Copies of this chain bind each other. A is one copy, B any other.
Amino acid sequence: MELGTNGSYYAVIFTSQRTEGDQGYGSMADRMEQLAGEQPGFLGVESVRDASGAGITVSYWDSLEAITNWKQNQAHLAAQDKGKQVWYESYKVRICKVEREYAY
């Protein structure tokens, strides 16, 4: 990942429970992932959903400003509205500063 100028970066943890049936969700999710990838400050995304409809998506950004800009993107706002109306039973968003990391 290309980090912010001070070497720090941010994670948005999105935990959600889907309603039943696709109802256009799959194609929207693909579109939003592609669109997020085109935003300034986007570093990457990891996403898992199981057969029960429980999902965790974590996206990574180089600044809080980049996260705010993406939250206010017009196409993303429309998806957020439909998410509340149709696609999600519930969700929670946590915006976090990554303090340290290690990998295997």
Contact A98 B104 (CB under 8 A): no
Contact A48 B50 (CB under 8 A): yes
User: Which residues on the B side are within 8 Å of A29 (C-beta)?
Assistant: none
Is the interface on chain A under 10, 10 to 19, 20 to 34, or 35 or more residues?
20 to 34
Contact of A48 among B54, B88, B93 (CB under 8 A): B54
Contact A48 B51 (CB under 8 A): no
Residues A79-104 near B (CB distance < 8 A): 83-84, 88, 90-104
A79 to B48 alpha-carbon distance, docked (Å):
23
A55 to B15 alpha-carbon distance, docked (Å):
13
Which 5 pairs across A and B sit closest by C-beta, in order of nearness?
A96-B96, A56-B56, A92-B103, A94-B101, A48-B48
